[in-house]
Amino acid sequence: MPDLPLETPVLIGRKRDGEELSGDDLRRLVEGYMSGAVAEEQMSALLMAGVIRGFSDAEAVALTDALVASGDTVDLSRLRGPTVDKHSTGGVGDTTTLVVAPILAAAGLQLAKLSGRGLGHTGGTLDKLESIPGFRVALTPDEMRAQVERIGLAVAAATAELVPADKRLYALRDVTGTVPSRALIAASVMSKKIAGGASHVLLDVKTGDGAFMARREDASALAELCVRIGTARGRRTAALVTDMSQPLGDGIGNAIEVAVAVEVLRGERPGRLDELCRELAAAALVLTGTAAAVDAPAFVDELLGSGRALERFRRFVVAQGGDPAVADRPWEVLPRAPEIVEWRPGPGTVTAVRCRELGELAASLGAGRRRKEDDVDPAVGLEVLARVGDHVSPDVPVARVHARTRADAERALARLPTLVDIGEGQVAPVPLVLERVGLSGVPDLG
Amino acid sequence: MPDLPLETPVLIGRKRDGEELSGDDLRRLVEGYMSGAVAEEQMSALLMAGVIRGFSDAEAVALTDALVASGDTVDLSRLRGPTVDKHSTGGVGDTTTLVVAPILAAAGLQLAKLSGRGLGHTGGTLDKLESIPGFRVALTPDEMRAQVERIGLAVAAATAELVPADKRLYALRDVTGTVPSRALIAASVMSKKIAGGASHVLLDVKTGDGAFMARREDASALAELCVRIGTARGRRTAALVTDMSQPLGDGIGNAIEVAVAVEVLRGERPGRLDELCRELAAAALVLTGTAAAVDAPAFVDELLGSGRALERFRRFVVAQGGDPAVADRPWEVLPRAPEIVEWRPGPGTVTAVRCRELGELAASLGAGRRRKEDDVDPAVGLEVLARVGDHVSPDVPVARVHARTRADAERALARLPTLVDIGEGQVAPVPLVLERVGLSGVPDLG
């Protein structure tokens, strides 16, 4: 034990008794954890004490700093102009990056996005992009910077050297019942944004059954804390709190989500994903000072309507080795599942959608992972074509199952009536953008 | 991972959120911990959640059961008549076992006591007994039972097979800030008593600066919980809550404490140790139905005054291989430190004694261990000859230092004025027995 073994129980005891730890204490604890001087069982006890007693804002900032200091950071200072990172806390059918990043690049902003893979009922951007034939996500820092300079955007896999303490702590929290802490979640999110080097950070904090933060007030508090942390560390940071009580986009599954995102970029898939992408893009334009709040929505409309955002997406796919035809005929270029069956339960009104379970159903078809080492099947998943409040007739499908086998398709089809309720009468649609944090200048577009 | 890995975080999360776990849950968690299915970091998180949220009485009983079930238990059912275990939560100069056990054996009771070694500022009965030349503490279960049948008492080292989960959990709690939980402490104490097999359990729960439970109300609550656990498991259990704000006996150090205990048995060392030994013995006589509450003090006086208790001590020493002359001329038989110096700070009144620091000073002379693997020097330590409220003159020593070297002696002598305050005027003595739990029939002897 090189360091700290006698002091560590004392620090844990102070957190246990509800005291605030200093930034120096927290830095040494995280450093000691990474060096082996603080044992796994000591860190889990500290985390549990923090989960129950709470961490102050100052502790959340210090934890973020300690996580950032555990590994490499990306230096984007050679890029001229504002750099943006857009981050979603994760959900079902949440394909906003593939739409928002090209819009913002077309507006002259720069996005060097480090992304992850999906786990559980939520998808990951890397898995989605890799469903495009030829697309590669393993970029070196130099390749990434050069691509951002040339076309304004790049998406690559985060390396193990970026915030390694977060990876270890997340694995520890997962098995020790210490996930639900606002400060720990915020430090995890913001450490990766700060290490990623962008000058501007836009967060999309999800709430509802399909999100990690099921309760609205928890999501709001998390959004506010993330904005305070980012601001404290010199990043212009804002957040939207948005609904994840039903799938965002119509696609749930990797290739299906890419196809749906291309359709949104082409103006061919109106709906909640399209709406939220416009909101997020407008917010980023305002946050970076690219457009005034009053002008931003029209600017976004123009970037989409003119095809400039789609063109930027095409250049992005080419730059990373993918087949650019995906921007024109996505359903032909992307892998297609052999069994595609439709579910037509109408007539009636959609009264409830069980979002998380739809994500889990898609994952069970092969679209997601149960464990980190699992492979995903890029072609399979679901299309969910109606939302709460929609009237559906027997003529149009409410969902499509994309399955590897006939048996899988039938199993999923049998499950769908338990996940989407069809009733009678009028039901109000669910609001999409619930709150804006750090964006007082942006008008409500809803 | 053979078992439980998916369920464990859920159980931890329930304790984190303040729910009560079932006996079955706790049993499986402790079993899983011992089998490796529950990792150290999971157990420490669970313990921290329990320390902060608290455990119910039912959980404390279930934890005790789970600890007992982790190892062997001692079967004393072949012994005729009541068996007694007397246990102290530990303190400074706390040599009651060496006096009380012979008194009770002389009264016809049976004590098969499994004991431990000292750590930190408190001594251990085994270390004290081993300072008697020839004395051995490694008895087999059969040897122990035969000795108890013959002479009524035996003291042996607890084996690693007795409540092994307690040993592992204690080591874990020590480094993870999860020691201060009443239920965990009570389960640790009572699991060893229940596994030890005695039908009657008398606890001496210490409170004050020299005890693990510094605050009186914590010690009372611990005593009450231990009595409830013992009673729930069919043991007649009682407890005294007693003062440990100053050293109990005059000796602090292994051979010195044996000598002082012999002097108490011989009626040559009146004072707080003598007083508490009489209280504990009377309580055990009442608890076992050996004497009525009103008769017990006189019975104890007779057992001591007649020499029957001393004689029983002598037979005990002989039975375990020690030199019986220790019962007659203890200071000649026991190892003596080469440097014995007196401290005579009078005249004045003792106004304060720093008990824990006196224990630590004796340990620093070689009487105690910093780490489990350290050796102890049987000869060294302190005699503390005055207590709060005593008037002291320059003619009589307030303390004696027994040291291995002249330098050690001088260092200790220089420390003593900071550990025992001598002032002026009258100071009330500190009450010794503060509370009786589970002994409503025993009159207050104080």
Measured between beta carbons, the chain B residues lying within 8 angstroms of A371 are none
> Which pairing describes strands B200-207 and B339-343: parallel, antiparallel, or unpaired?
unpaired
If interface means Cβ-Cβ distance under 8 Å, which residues of chain B face chain A?
5, 8-13, 15-16, 39-49, 51-53, 172, 174-178, 180
Q: How far apart are the first and last CA of chain A?
A: 57
Structure confidence at residue A120 (pLDDT): 65
| Residue A363 DSSP class | I
Q: In DSSP terms, which residues pair with A83 in a beta bridge?
A: A110
Residues B193, B235: contact at Cβ < 8 Å? yes
Closest Cα in chain A to B169: A41
How far is the C-alpha of A411 from the C-alpha of B356, rounded, in Å? 69
Contact check, Cβ <8 Å, B176/A53: no
Contact check, Cβ <8 Å, A39/B172: no
Closest Cα in chain B to A43: B41
Q: What distance in Å separates residue B405's CA from the closest CA in chain A?
A: 29
DSSP for A311-341? HHHHHHHHHTT--GGGGT-HHHHS---SEEE
Query: Is the peptide bond preceding residue A347 cis, with omega within 30 degrees of 0?
Result: yes
Q: What is the pLDDT of chain B when averaged over all its residues?
A: 93
Q: Which residues of A are catalytic?
A: 87, 166, 173, 188, 192
Residue A373 pLDDT grade (very low, low, confident, very high; cuts 50, 70, 90): confident
Hey, how many other C-beta atoms are within 10 angstroms of the C-beta on B345?
17
Structure confidence at residue B159 (pLDDT): 82
Lowest mean pLDDT among A116-120, A141-145, A201-205, A396-400: A116-120
Of B12, B174, B178, the CB nearest to A176: B12
Structure confidence at residue A444 (pLDDT): 44
Structure confidence at residue A229 (pLDDT): 98
Residue B446 pLDDT grade (very low, low, confident, very high; cuts 50, 70, 90): very low
Structure confidence at residue A118 (pLDDT): 67
DSSP for A418-431? HHEEEESS--PPPP
Lowest mean pLDDT among A31-35, A73-77, B129-133: A73-77
Please give the C-alpha separations between residue B239 and each of A143, A288, A392, B229, in angstroms, as whole numbers: 74, 70, 74, 12
3-state secondary structure chain B: CCCCCCHHHHHHHHHHCCCCCCHHHHHHHHHHHHHCCCCHHHHHHHHHHHHHHCCCHHHHHHHHHHHHHCCECCCCCCCCCCEEEEEECCCCCCCHHHHHHHHHHHCCCEEEEEECCCECCECCHHHHHHCCCCCCCCCCHHHHHHHHHHHCEEEEECCCCECHHHHHHHHHHHHHCCCCCHHHHHHHHHHHHHHHCCCEEEEEEEECCCCCCCCHHHHHHHHHHHHHHHHHCCCEEEEEEEECCCCCCCEECHHHHHHHHHHHHCCCCCCHHHHHHHHHHHHHHHHCCCCCCCCHHHHHHHHHHCCHHHHHHHHHHHHCCCCHHHHCCHHHHCCCCCEEEEECCCCEEEEEECHHHHHHHHHHHHHCCCCCCCCCCCCCEEEECCCCCCEECCCCCCEEEEECCHHHHHHHHHHHHHHEEEECCCCCCCCCEEEEECCCCCCCCC
Structure confidence at residue B121 (pLDDT): 66
Measured between beta carbons, the chain B residues lying within 8 angstroms of A180 are 13
How far is the C-alpha of A440 from the C-alpha of B435, rounded, in Å? 64
> Which pairing describes strands B111-115 and B391-392: parallel, antiparallel, or unpaired?
unpaired
Q: What is the mean pLDDT of residues B376-402?
A: 96
Contact check, Cβ <8 Å, B178/A47: no
Residue B1 pLDDT grade (very low, low, confident, very high; cuts 50, 70, 90): very low
Structure confidence at residue B437 (pLDDT): 95
Q: Which residue has the tokens 């230092």?
A: B401
How far is the C-alpha of B202 from the C-alpha of B224, rounded, in Å? 12
Measured between beta carbons, the chain B residues lying within 8 angstroms of A177 are 9-13, 15-16, 42, 45-46, 49
How far is the C-alpha of A77 from the C-alpha of B86, rounded, in Å? 72
Residue B338 reports pLDDT greater than 80:
yes
Structure confidence at residue A138 (pLDDT): 92
Q: What is the mean pLDDT of residues B72-100?
A: 92
User: What global pTM score does this model have?
Assistant: 0.88
Q: Which value does ipTM take for this structure?
A: 0.86
Lowest mean pLDDT among B68-82, B185-199, B219-233: B68-82
Q: Which residue has the tokens 């930190």?
A: B120
Residue B4 reports pLDDT greater than 60:
no
Q: How many A×B Cβ pairs under 8 Å?
A: 96
If interface means Cβ-Cβ distance under 8 Å, which residues of chain A face chain B?
5, 8-13, 15-16, 39-49, 51-53, 172, 174-178, 180
Catalytic annotation present for B391? no
**pLDDT tens track for A209-226:** 988 888 999 999 999 999
- Tell me if the domain spanning A335-423 has CATH number 3.90.1170.30: yes
Contact check, Cβ <8 Å, B16/A178: yes
Q: What is the mean pLDDT of residues A116-131?
A: 81
Domains B8-54 and B84-329 share a fold: no
Of B43, B44, B52, the CB nearest to A52: B52
**pLDDT tens track for B160-197:** 889 999 999 999 998 999 998 999 999 999 999 999 99
Contact check, Cβ <8 Å, B177/A45: yes
Q: In DSSP terms, which residues pair with B239 in a beta bridge?
A: B203, B437
Integer-rounded Cα radius of gyration of chain A:
22
How far is the C-alpha of B155 from the C-alpha of B326, rounded, in Å? 17
Of A10, A45, A51, the CB nearest to B178: A45
Lookup: tokens for B399: 């303390």
Structure confidence at residue A65 (pLDDT): 98
Of B5, B40, B177, the CB nearest to A13: B177
How far is the C-alpha of A424 from the C-alpha of B107, rounded, in Å? 86
Measured between beta carbons, the chain B residues lying within 8 angstroms of A46 are 177
Residues 6+ apart with CB under 8 A from B272: B246, B248, B249, B387, B432
Structure confidence at residue A213 (pLDDT): 85
Residues B228, B203: contact at Cβ < 8 Å? no
Q: Among A15, A46, A176, A179, pick the best mutation site for testing chain B contact (most B Cβ within 10 A).
A: A176
Residues B386, B398: contact at Cβ < 8 Å? yes
How far is the C-alpha of B252 from the C-alpha of B121, rounded, in Å? 10
**pLDDT tens track for B7-42:** 899 999 999 999 999 999 999 999 999 999 999 999
Residues B348, B421: contact at Cβ < 8 Å? no
Q: What is the mean pLDDT of residues A190-219?
A: 94
Residues A93, A250: contact at Cβ < 8 Å? yes
Residue A2 pLDDT grade (very low, low, confident, very high; cuts 50, 70, 90): very low
Residues B163, B49: contact at Cβ < 8 Å? no
> Which pairing describes strands B236-243 and B433-437: parallel, antiparallel, or unpaired?
antiparallel
Nearest to A420 by CA among A242, A215, A211, A247: A247
How far is the C-alpha of B119 from the C-alpha of B115, rounded, in Å? 13
CATH of domain B8-54: 1.20.970.10
**pLDDT tens track for B283-309:** 999 999 999 999 999 999 999 999 999
Residues A355, A152: contact at Cβ < 8 Å? no
Residues 6+ apart with CB under 8 A from A338: A403, A404, A405
Q: How far apart are the first and last CA of chain B?
A: 57
Residues 6+ apart with CB under 8 A from A446: A279, A431, A432, A433
Residue B3 pLDDT grade (very low, low, confident, very high; cuts 50, 70, 90): very low
**pLDDT tens track for B52-64:** 999 999 999 999 9
How far is the C-alpha of B86 from the C-alpha of B204, rounded, in Å? 8
Q: What is the pLDDT of chain A when averaged over all its residues?
A: 93
Catalytic residue among B28, B87, B272, B356: B87
| B394: Cα within 13 Å, side-chain hemisphere | 1
Domain segments of chain B as ranges:
8-54, 84-329, 335-423
Catalytic residue among B166, B209, B250, B274: B166
Q: Among A41, A172, A181, pick the best mutation site for testing chain B contact (most B Cβ within 10 A).
A: A41
DSSP for A268-283? ---SHHHHHHHHHHHH
Lookup: tokens for B119: 């750590």
Structure confidence at residue B375 (pLDDT): 85
Is A153 in a helix, a strand, or coil?
Answer: strand
Residues 6+ apart with CB under 8 A from A368: A118, A119, A120, A121, A122, A123, A359, A360, A362, A376
Residues B271, B93: contact at Cβ < 8 Å? no
Lookup: tokens for A247: 């799938």
Structure confidence at residue B214 (pLDDT): 87
Residue A117 pLDDT grade (very low, low, confident, very high; cuts 50, 70, 90): confident
- Work out the percent of chain B whose per-residue pLDDT is above 70: 96
How far is the C-alpha of B316 from the C-alpha of B73, rounded, in Å? 24
Sheet hosting strand A420-423, strand order edge to edge: A391-392, A348-353, A420-423
Indicate the helix (H) or strand (E) that contains A256. helix A254-265
- Kindly tell me the burial class for residue B270, based on how many C-beta atoms sit within 10 Å of its own C-beta (0-12, 13-18, 19 or more): exposed
Residue A119 pLDDT grade (very low, low, confident, very high; cuts 50, 70, 90): low
CATH of domain B84-329: 3.40.1030.10
Q: What is the mean pLDDT of residues A121-137?
A: 90
How far is the C-alpha of A18 from the C-alpha of B71, rounded, in Å? 36
Q: In DSSP terms, which residues pair with B350 in a beta bridge?
A: B422
Residue B149 reports pLDDT greater than 60:
yes
Lowest mean pLDDT among A282-286, A315-319, B132-136, B375-379: B375-379
Torsion sign across C-alpha atoms B57, B58, B60, B65: positive
Q: Among A10, A48, A51, A52, pick the best mutation site for testing chain B contact (most B Cβ within 10 A).
A: A48
Lookup: tokens for A51: 């989960």
Contact check, Cβ <8 Å, A52/B12: no
| A40: Cα within 13 Å, side-chain hemisphere | 14
